[in-house]
Amino acid sequence: MPGTEHALKQATTLIEGAIGAALVDYTSGMALGTIGGGKDLDLAVAAAGNTDVVRAKVRTMEQLGLKDSIEDILITLGSQYHLIRLLKGRGADGLFLYLALDKERANLAMARHQLRRIESELEV
């Protein structure tokens, strides 16, 4: 089973249009691992900011009494997709995979499919 570094490397090499990826602990807002990014995408800032997004959605679901779980959250920008996939399974509570994609090069459906596969193989 691949670990964090391998999973993030797969996300950025196998998923067309990937700009950067991170494994994030949304209880603390800390990135447990990052790859890619650069001057236009600070993954540490993105990890902390997207933690707020996840917490807000979890809180809203609780207030609405929804007894369901979040599979993923998509944020569409003018030139990018930001995909947040909450992890499930042993040892993965409170974690999410974050993937930033170049909108012109990415196939969103394939990215979601591949991220789901990477999650299923990830051992945290």
CATH of the domain at 71: 3.30.450.30
pLDDT of 78 reads 95
Question: Rg for the chain (alpha carbons), in Å?
Answer: 14
Burial 10-44 (b: 16+ CB within 10 A, else e): bbbeebebbbbbbbbbbeebebebbbbbeeeeebe
pLDDT in tens, the chain (124 residues): 468 999 999 999 999 999 999 999 999 999 999 999 888 899 999 999 999 999 999 999 999 999 998 999 999 999 999 999 999 876 678 899 999 999 999 999 999 999 999 998 888 7
Residue 105: which of 15, 17, 19, 14 has the closest Cα?
A: 17
Distance CA 68, CA 7 (A): 26
Are 109 and 123 contacting, i.e. CB atoms less than 8 angstroms apart?
A: no
pLDDT value of residue 90: 61
pLDDT for the residue 1: 47
What pLDDT sits at residue 88? 84
Identify the bridge partners of residue 100 per DSSP, sorted by sequence position.
20, 82
Query: Which residues span the domain enclosing 19?
Result: 4-105+112-121
> HSE-up of 112 (CA within 13 Å, CB side)?
9
71 phi and psi angles, rounded to 5 deg? -85, -60
What global pTM score does this model have? 0.92
Whole-angstrom CA distances from 103 to 15, 112, 114 are 12, 13, 16
In this predicted model, what pLDDT tens digit does every residue of 12-31 receive, in sequence order?
999 999 999 999 999 999 99
* Tally of domains in the chain: 1
